[in-house]
Amino acid sequence: GGKQTMSEAQPVVEEVREETGGVLEKVKHLTAGGIGGIAQTITGYPLDTLKVRLQTAQPGQFNGLIDVFKQTLAKEGVSGFTKGIGSPIAGASAMNAVLFFSWGASQDLVRSHPGEILSPLKLFVAGLMTGFAVAFVESPVDLIKCKLQSSYSGKVSSWQCLKDIRRNFGIRGVYQGITATIARNVPANASYFVTYELCKRFFSRNNTSGHLSHVAILTAGGIAGLAYWVLSYPLDVIKSKIQTEPSEIEKRRFRGVIDCAGKTWREGGLKPFFKGFTPCLIRAFPANAVCFYGYEVTKNLLNQLF
């Protein structure tokens, strides 16, 4: 009978190994995502500030990218471009950790069996789920960032800004713009991750080892960044407008996403929905190339170590 118990015990050991492997994988996703997020923020932040300023400016305040660059430099110096960077550096590492963690978990959820190569449709569904999950971390981070980037005075830290909002307006204040963030994030992340995965498959199609070159990873990440923004940009404009409104509900111009979209349309049709699109696209390629590169390199390193 002893033999039988041995063979019965083995699958349990295997299952335990699977479980701990699963936890370790998730920790790797979190860590690699965090590193990717920091790299992305540092690369793209100055252009991101100009994007938010163009999106939220009063009509006639700036006439384009070069003008907002010159005015920011003249009035605030170099530090004008890095206003509020504390929130995204701390936030981006947390946010991207959650982003890549959710991406890993969402893929597991849509897989019918372990090791399944996901179809574009399943990748898309996993991307939608990822976008929804990460919105709850991204919304407060973006709120603080937008409020600081669109303020032209004073030196308030990201942390101070968050504490003030939390103290005066509670959790509703911290989640100002959550609906707009979800509306942007769901389609944006679906197109982001599908594009990245399909680009990776395309670049490795003639490659037996399955390893991608550094250039291929950077290119796939950059193209994914463009895909993220091209589809979701008008929704991002709405989100920026809603998040730069006063925290006091009674002082706000917009009652919500639909109201903001209507009022923005009446300002000038499609044009206001693409304010700041140039700096956004210029930033999208390098920032996301670096983000995915940071993620992949860190994950490979962790795979070798553990």
For the residues of 118-150, what is the DSSP string, one character each? Answer: PPHHHHHHHHHHHHHHHHHHHHHHHHHHHHHHT
Taking the C-alpha atoms of residue 193 and residue 199, their distance in angstroms, rounded to an integer, is 10
Tell whether the model's pLDDT for residue 294 goes beyond 80.
Answer: yes
Is it the case that residue 305 has pLDDT exceeding 80?
A: yes
pLDDT of 214: 93
Range of 84-88, 111-115, 133-137, 206-210 with top mean pLDDT: 133-137
Range from 133-142, 149-158, 236-245, 255-264 carrying the lowest mean pLDDT: 149-158
How far is it, in rounded angstroms, from Cα 74 to Cα 92?
A: 28
Q: How far apart are CA 85 and CA 7, in angstroms?
A: 57
Single pTM value for the model:
0.84
Task: Residue count of the chain, please give it.
Answer: 306
pLDDT for the residue 82? 83
> Are 144 and 162 in contact, with CB atoms under 8 Å apart?
yes
Tell me the average pLDDT of the chain: 88
- Give yes or no for residue 206 having a pLDDT over 90: no
Distance, CA of 177 to CA of 255 (rounded, Å): 11
Give whichever of 6-15, 38-47, 104-113 has the largest mean pLDDT: 104-113
* pLDDT given for residue 7 in this prediction: 41
Helices (H), the chain: 2-56, 65-76, 86-110, 120-149, 158-174, 178-203, 214-243, 257-268, 277-305
Residue 83 reports pLDDT greater than 90: no
- Rounded to whole angstroms, the Cα distance separating 154 from 276 reads 23
